[in-house]
Amino acid sequence: MTRNVDAIVIGGGIHGCSTTLHLCLAGLKPVLIEKDYAGRHASGVNAGGVRQLARHIPEIPLSIRSMGIWEKISDLLDDDCSFESYGQVLVAENEEELAVCRARVAELNALGFTHEELIDAAELQRLVPAVADTCPGGVVSRRDGAANPAQTTTAFRRKAQQLGATVREGVAATNIRYINGLWYVDVGSETFAAPVLVNAAGAWAGKIAAALGEPVPVETVAPMLMITSRVPHFIDPVVILRGRKLSFKQFKNGTVLIGGGHLATPYQDRNETVLDWESLATSARTVFELFPVMRSATIVRAWAGIEAKMKDDIPVFGPSSRHRGLYHQFGFSLHGFQLGPGAGAVMAELIVNGGSQTRVSELGIDRFHPSTL
């Protein structure tokens, strides 16, 4: 039996969940389809960075929009998502790196963006006393912070459900087709039909886009993270490095999350990843050098989440260039978590109003269309 709804969202990551919630807020009745469970992959197991810092320029408006939502996340979700805002700091380890930072901040200022702020060695030491004192400065984005990714994604799913969204977890969306102005999707023995289809299927979204005639240069990646045992509190902001792959965050309970984008081997069809310990050892060495206090900490667990990475490292976001009623929201390329709340809000505006005040025009799928190449 076919059930008619207002929109079908495929993918229960933070993006699919956020879009579903914002469609509910706009008065629509959407269905969310997730083949595993909400937050099973990258959205639930990423570093939880809520970061405007060091973003690609085309996605900065979306990031700023999102930041406003993060700061009131409890009002939206009735859940604090363990969001905390101690800033994010990009560390320059030498003068050359600091020069790059200086140029970057000047470029952003010229475009009217002021969230990134150049800092000297003294301010860096004040913000991150544990960092090696040879570092000459860096960039801070003071409103940034971190949240618990699984808690956040779950909270979006739960709130959407409370507001009337239908959620199907544990069953894949199959047999996607467009007939007489409606999108049809099979979910196990059920069929849903709606005028709107949102492709927010993360690492699985590229296949859906390709099947619908919009192939894009996307690959599946699995960035690795590891977490330590509890160590005495020594750092508040999230720290990332300019020149080396490292992100670093201490939680309230004392555990320290070490990431930075070293990749595991994804086995997408099995929902599995195989970790690359030699790369993780590189991360460990970087931490060992920069934060002597961490040397005796133990590594308790390492993991990787499966996600989509675009060739140009910025997401595919907005209406399809081929099909009416189809919208893409995927390919966040290792930095989609912070964008989730804002992207859901903007996507709902695109669907309901046909446009948004937030500029996302450079993120469209048409940038890959043969006619535009």
Partner 1 sequence: MTVAPKREDYDVVVIGAGPAGLAAAATSAEAGLSTLLLDENIGPGGQVFRAIATTPVTDRSQLGADYWVGADLVQALRASNAEIIHRATVWSLDRNLDIAVSIGGASAFVRAKRVILATGALERPFPIPGWTLPGVMTAGAAQTMLKSSALVPDGRTVIAGQGPLLWLLAAQILRLGGRIDRILDTTERGNYFAALPHAFAFLTSPYFAKGLSMMREVKAKVQVVSGVTELSAAGDGQLASVSYVAGGKRETIPADLLLLHQGVVPNVNLAMSAGIEHRWDDLQLCWSPVLDANGSSSVAGIAIAGDGAGIGGANAAVVRGRIAARAAVEALAPAVAAKLPSMATLRTDLAKAERGRMFLDTLFRPAPQFRIPTGDTIVCRCEEVTAKDVLDSVAIGATGPNQLKAYRRTGMGPCQGRLCGLTVTELMAQARAKTPQEIGYYRLRAPVKPITLAELAAVPKSEADVKAVVRG
Is residue 229 at the binding interface for partner 1, with CB under 8 A as the rule?
Answer: yes
Task: Rank residues 173 and 297 by Cβ distance to partner 1 and give the closer one.
Answer: 297
Q: How far is the C-alpha of 298 from the C-alpha of 34, rounded, in Å?
A: 35
**Edge-to-edge strands, sheet with 182-187:** 2-4, 190-194, 182-187, 173-179
Q: How far is the C-alpha of 218 from the C-alpha of 74, rounded, in Å?
A: 34
**Which residue stretches of 132-179 are H helix?**
149-162
Q: Minimum Å distance from CB 126 to partner 1?
A: 22
Q: Among 137, 259, 266, 341, which residue interacts with partner 1 (rule: CB under 8 A)?
A: 259
Q: Minimum Å distance from CB 116 to partner 1?
A: 13
Site for partner 1 in 303-362 (CB under 8 A): 303, 334-339
Is residue 272 at the binding interface for partner 1, with CB under 8 A as the rule?
Answer: yes
Q: How far is the C-alpha of 187 from the C-alpha of 191, rounded, in Å?
A: 6
Contact by Cβ (8 Å): 73, 341: yes
Query: Which range touches partner 1 (CB under 8 A), out of 27-35, 48-56, 198-206, 318-326?
Result: 48-56
Site for partner 1 in 103-142 (CB under 8 A): none
Q: How far is the C-alpha of 79 from the C-alpha of 72, rounded, in Å?
A: 10
Contact by Cβ (8 Å): 49, 249: yes
**DSSP 8-state code for residue 286:** H
Query: Which range touches partner 1 (CB under 8 A), out of 114-122, 208-216, 227-235, 359-367?
Result: 227-235
Sign of the CA dihedral running 162, 81, 26, 320 = negative
Please name the amino acid found at residue 325: G
Q: How far is the C-alpha of 231 from the C-alpha of 229, rounded, in Å?
A: 6
Site for partner 1 in 275-304 (CB under 8 A): 275-282, 284-285, 287-288, 294-303
Q: Minimum Å distance from CB 205 to partner 1?
A: 18
Sign of the CA dihedral running 155, 6, 197, 318 = negative
Is residue 56 at the binding interface for partner 1, with CB under 8 A as the rule?
Answer: no
Q: How far is the C-alpha of 274 from the C-alpha of 261, rounded, in Å?
A: 15
Q: How far is the C-alpha of 364 from the C-alpha of 215, rounded, in Å?
A: 13
Site for partner 1 in 15-44 (CB under 8 A): 37, 39-40, 44
Is residue 159 at the binding interface for partner 1, with CB under 8 A as the rule?
Answer: no
Q: Minimum Å distance from CB 24 to partner 1?
A: 16
Q: How far is the C-alpha of 159 from the C-alpha of 32, rounded, in Å?
A: 12
Q: Among 134, 181, 270, 371, which residue interacts with partner 1 (rule: CB under 8 A)?
A: 270
Is residue 247 at the binding interface for partner 1, with CB under 8 A as the rule?
Answer: yes
Contacts with partner 1 by CB under 8 A: the residue count is 66
Q: Is 144 exposed, middle or buried (0-12, 13-18, 19+ CB in 10 A)?
A: buried
Is residue 99 at the binding interface for partner 1, with CB under 8 A as the rule?
Answer: no
Task: Rank residues 46 and 250 by Cβ distance to partner 1 and give the closer one.
Answer: 46
Q: Minimum Å distance from CB 149 to partner 1?
A: 8
Task: Rank residues 6 and 312 by Cβ distance to partner 1 and give the closer one.
Answer: 312
Is residue 197 at the binding interface for partner 1, with CB under 8 A as the rule?
Answer: no
Site for partner 1 in 70-89 (CB under 8 A): none
Using DSSP, state whether 246 is helix, strand or coil. Answer: coil
Binding site for partner 1 (CB under 8 A): 37, 39-40, 44, 46-47, 49-51, 54, 90, 148, 150-151, 154, 157-158, 169, 223, 227-229, 240-245, 247, 253, 259-262, 267, 270, 272, 274-282, 284-285, 287-288, 294-303, 334-339
